[in-house]
Amino acid sequence: MAPKKVLLLCGDFMEDYEAMVPFQALQAFGLAVHAVCPGKKAADVCRTAVHELAAHQTYSETVGHNFALNATFDEVDAASYDGLWLPGGRAPEYLAHIPGVVELVTKFVSLGKQIACICHGHLILAAAGVVKGRKCTAFPPVKPVLVAAGAHWVEPDTMAATVVDGNLITAATYEGHPELIHHFVKALGGKISGFDKKILFICGDYMEDYEVKVPFQSLQALGCHVDAVCPSKKAGDTCPTAIHDFEGDQTYTEKPGHTFALTATFDDVDPSGYDALVIPGGRSPEYLALNESVIALVKHFFESKKPVASICHGQQILSAAGVLKGRKCTAYPAVKLNVVLSGATWLEPDPISRCFTDENLVTGAAWPGHPEFISQLMALLGIQVSF
């Protein structure tokens, strides 16, 4: 049976998380996702924006990752897709004025396809005239446009709010991704089993932005209980993240990422209560590998033979913990020395999205491999999404 197909409608300076989290999560769950942008073709890139709510009266913006498209807008046939996903950010402001975009969205709606829309993405729905009489929520400043377009506005009580109205599923911001993705998968006929798992993330300052948020929200979307902890921090504290990208230089570039909120207190964590451990990459593993409490935590999961998923520079922690001897694994190529000197067999990540499973250990080289990384962890945990 052919996989369900979803179209992700992109544009320059769409919100970084609001493009990549659904793009990679849905692929990890077995769906085919095509990302397109008007005026661009497959392999072109869209710039993205990091939007955050802090102490100011509106969100701040910095430049995010470069997002690579994998399909061509002019070749899209709406009838061949099962659903449409509209990210937010600033892109919808101009996409809403492109006739081809409005025509495409109208076609999806007329065919009764499932629609997921988040943040500012509703500007496109309003321009297409398809929200009249529909209940929806969005980022609050979009309210006047939706009301003028005839929508029944639902005030978001939190920035994670999600509203379902028939084939239209809407959310206020990327904090609502877990519920939005969950509803979307179910609307497409997906059934999730084996999701009653507790998963722990070891976080640190300047971990890679995607490498924490994408797997974290993907696992939440499946229905798992997911906690994120960081040494010397408690629940409600935050970690700054780093955007590591590949822009033609001899190594990755770095830009400031989103701020990631922790959900539990490191000193209170009992690892025996968790079914799996996830270690994001970025720069944080360099110093977390020196923390004896982190090392002890990692050793517990290996001694208990529980699933451990580590990506990019996360393997620096595994190397320091002495748990890689005799194992087969990959990592970001610059970490190969750590892996080999720790007694592991190096597996070349070719392409960079390649991930590997060796008994209870899943390893990946970098965030482009998230779909494989997440799906392989799901397999170890016995979590399935079937259509």
Bridge partners (DSSP) of residue 152 are 135
Per-residue tokens: 52? 């955050």
Selected catalytic residue, list 313, 329, 355, 370? 313
Cα end-to-end span (Å), the chain: 9
Find the catalytic residue in 312, 329, 355, 370.
312
| Number of other CB atoms surrounding residue 269 within 10 Å | 16
Q: What is the DSSP string of 58-105?
A: S-EEEEEEEEE--S-GGG--GGG-SEEEE--BSHHHHHTT-HHHHHHH
- Tally of CA atoms within 13 A in the half-sphere of 79 that contains its CB: 0
Q: Render 260-322 in DSSP notation, one character per residue.
A: EE--S-GGG--GGG-SEEEE--BSHHHHHTT-HHHHHHHHHHHHTT--EEEEGGGHHHHHHHT
Amino acid at 159: M
Instruction: Report the candidate in 163, 157, 127 with the shortest Cα–Cα distance to residue 145.
Output: 127
CB atoms within 10 A of CB 57: 5
- 114 burial level (CB within 10 Å; 0-12, 13-18, 19+): buried
Give how far Cα 74 sits from Cα of 71, 84, 203, 246, Å: 9, 16, 41, 27
How many C-alpha atoms does 232 have within 13 Å on its Cβ side? 7
Tokens 């692929």 belong to 27
Catalytic residue among 51, 65, 120, 183, which? 120
> 120 an active-site residue?
yes
Active site residue 119: yes
The one catalytic residue in 119, 224, 230, 329 is 119
Judge contact between 107 and 126, C-beta under 8 A: no
Q: Is 312 a catalytic residue?
A: yes
Q: Running DSSP on this structure, what letter comes out for residue 2?
A: P
Distance CA 254, CA 65 (A): 10
Which residues are known to be catalytic? 119-120, 312-313
